A and B are shown apart, each in its own frame.
Chain A
Amino acid sequence: MASRLDRSPLAQLTLARFREFLREKEAVFWTFVFPVLLAVGLGVAFRNRGPDVVAIGVAAGADAGRLAAALGHAEGVRALVLPSDAVDDALRKGRVALVVASRPDGLHYRFDPTRPESRLARLAADEALAPLAGRPLPPPARIERVTAPGARYIDFLIPGLIAFNLLGTGLWGVGFALVRMRTGKLLKRFLATPMRKSEFLFSFILARLSFLVLEVGSLLLFARYAFDVRVHGSIAAVFAVAILGAMVFSGIGLLVASRARTQEAVMGLMNVVSLPMWILSGVFFSAEHFPAIMQPLIRALPLTAVVDALRAIMNDGATLAAVAGPVTIALAWGVASFAAALAIFRWR
């Protein structure tokens, strides 16, 4: 005999979403494996190394030996004596960040002021060469070196990756799947039954919520054990924001899919929606780098809101109340995109 589960359209529709997803190897890869690979790749590439060493060139000449020796003794500086015809080439190729030359009127510096390491090299050279000029600098009273968990690149990255993944799965899991059903006339076929449209759409949400636990959970566990990334706020708050994010991006996925008739059309729309946010929303590097004039726009993006809220909770131990700003922005996006999508959705 058929069970109650067999007779529940919502249960059967959600089960169908589940089965289709888990039987699609590519989807499983992009949702669960890819974010972990990305975390490993970026975590290794930007792992915290020892303090950076700057290379400073010394133009060959009478004083070259003395200058090189003084620079070589300074902390974090490597000195190289360069023949005068190799100076420009070494600077251009970044082999050295600064070249010091001894001239009758004093020391000459050659460097590119737009390069951060050149400016660093200049400060280092000033400090190292000051005793030669007879005016030693007083040493700092105290030096504190901070590399605590919570301030590393990987700590910055993981909340960003979680939000980035929620965006991707929302767009693909909802948007792409719906358009595929429309082009395959499956939406129309469902419409030809007594199925309720609301239950059909709700099944997508239910399936997204169930996957979210796995998706966010696996990334958090991996980050915890592979990189010792800790959640400083509450785990419940992290999941609350993740659920909100999943709903918002499902709504955007629904909106993107609401009219598109072909898979190519929806893929184009998904790129238009997601690419700017991947770049602007501070997933991989801080959005503060963008000019001040763009900041209001960047803050208004749903991905920025979710990234900011997750980062505040995970890294700074913020409470849900403390991230009310970005949460409100995300909520507004979710409500607006669901309302718009349902108003213009094409069922056939």
Chain B
Amino acid sequence: MLETTIAPPGVESAVRCRGLVKRYGELVAVDGIDLDVRVGECFGLLGPNGAGKTTTVEILEGLLERDGGDVRLFGLSWDHDERALRERIGIQLQETQLPEKLTVEETIRLFRSFFRRGREVDEILEAVQLTEKRKTWVSRLSGGQKQRLSVACALVGAPDLLFLDEPTTGLDPQSRRALWELVEAYRAGGGTVVLTTHYMEEAERLCDRVGIMDRGRIIALGSPQELIASLDAEHIIEFSLPEGASLPPREELLALAGVTALHQRDGTVQLVVREPHAALPALLDALGRHGTGLADLRTHHATLEDVFVAHTGRQLRDG
């Protein structure tokens, strides 16, 4: 894990970092992370709030000093090639308040002026579907429109690498889909994306590879399909018991047909199973034998959320 060799020039690695460490006093926010993001790839950091995603990304973006480790983007380092790198990357930060009393068009033109090369304002407006709003003040945009403008400001420099930090947090489903399409269009043009999210469906839809982060470390890394397959079972049975009822012994449940893992939290039990049609009757039998009823029962396909639970015993949304 902790190899320190750096990719030689010419190797197509958009992001390469080794042994990244960031401390805030006693707290270790980033605890020795290694990452490689290939050119043309969409890489996602998935994890609960406070896992260290934003800290990691801001170090990669050259906005935060690291306490240890090495970062290269396209083989260049922030210590020596800052201006060249700034020209090549686009950044969308969490919670940036763009000037309220500038129009959409003025805002994009302002950001465009900072880059030597880039895209025309009209072209960007079209790409983020804000052409009709070009004369509207930023303060009068909806949340989704503001977010698209924020991404537009990251795209004006025609970046080779785009960083998105929680791009759809707080957006309604329709705005979220519009933003996903924007990211997919950028990738279709050959762009590389690094994004953070705590929405598993976002990671599953957009990302080629995902790193699941918890407490400053990457605890699982791979494509969404690989990570879900690593659970060794593709389905989840989730149930809870009526108040006062006691659960049959763990060993008995784990021994049921097709059950590969069991997680318990706040009165809810999760069974990771290969075949729900075999496991479900077995579970009901077992509960019947103990004379226990059910308060709630659900089954679903395993998701990245279940991968997180399998590694940490906690839910993503628990933070």
Contact = CB atoms under 8 A, between A and B. Distances in A.
B97 interface: yes
B63 interface: yes
A158 interface: no
A193 B93 contact: no
Interface in B115-130: 115-116, 120-121
Contacts of A8: 113
Contact of A186 (B97, B116, B121): B97
B257 to A, nearest CB: 53
Interface of B: 61, 63, 83, 86-87, 91, 93, 95-99, 101-102, 106, 109-116, 120-121, 137, 153, 157
Contacts of B63: 188, 191-192, 348
Contacts of B87: 194
A11 B109 CA distance: 11
Interface of A: 2, 6-9, 11-13, 15-16, 19-20, 23-24, 184-186, 188-195, 348
B99 A20 contact: yes
B62 to A, nearest CB: 8
B157 A193 contact: yes
Nearest to A191: B63
A28 to B, nearest CB: 12
Contacts, number: 73
A6 B114 contact: no
Given A19-B101, A194-B87, A194-B114, A189 B96 contact: yes
Contact of B115 (A16, A24, A185, A194): A194
A16 B100 CA distance: 11
Given A192-B63, A348-B63, A185 B111 contact: no
5 contacts: A9-B113, A11-B113, A188-B93, A190-B114, A192-B63
Among B63, B83, B153, B157, the most chain A Cβ lie within 10 Å of the Cβ of: B63
B113 A6 contact: yes
A19 B101 CA distance: 7
Given A20-B102, A185-B96, A194-B116, 5 more contacts: A6-B121, A20-B99, A23-B101, A23-B137, A189-B96
A193 B97 CA distance: 16
A276 B87 CA distance: 46
Nearest to B154: A192
Contacts of A192: 61, 63, 86, 91, 93
Most A C-beta atoms less than 10 A away, residue of B98, B110, B115, B116: B110
Contacts of A20: 99, 101-102
Contact of B110 (A13, A23, A24): A13
A312 B101 CA distance: 40
Contacts of A6: 109, 112-113, 121
A2 to B, nearest CB: 7
Contacts of B93: 185, 188-189, 192
A193 B86 contact: yes
Contact of B114 (A2, A185, A188, A193): A193
B110 A12 contact: yes
Contact of A9 (B83, B95, B114): B114
B115 to A, nearest CB: 6
Contacts of A185: 93, 95-97
Given A188-B63, A188-B93, A348-B63, A193 B111 contact: yes
A16 B110 contact: yes
A20 B102 CA distance: 7
B111 to A, nearest CB: 6
A185 B113 CA distance: 19
Contacts of B112: 2, 6-7
Nearest to B120: A2
B96 to A, nearest CB: 5
A192 B86 CA distance: 7
B77 to A, nearest CB: 16
8 closest A-B pairs by beta carbon, nearest first, are: A184-B97, A194-B86, A12-B113, A23-B101, A192-B91, A193-B114, A195-B114, A189-B96
B164 to A, nearest CB: 12
- Most A C-beta atoms less than 10 A away, residue of B63, B112, B114: B114
Nearest to A195: B114
Contacts of B120: 2
Contact of B106 (A16, A194, A195): A16
B86 A16 contact: no
A196 to B, nearest CB: 9
A195 B114 CA distance: 5
Contacts of B106: 15-16, 19
A13 B101 CA distance: 14
Contact of A193 (B98, B102, B115): B115
Contacts of A348: 63
B101 to A, nearest CB: 4
Contact of A16 (B95, B99, B116): B99
Max chain A Cβ within 10 angstroms of own Cβ: one of B106, B113, B115: B113
Nearest to B107: A16
Nearest to B87: A194
Nearest to A177: B99
A67 B255 CA distance: 123
B73 to A, nearest CB: 13
A123 B113 CA distance: 74
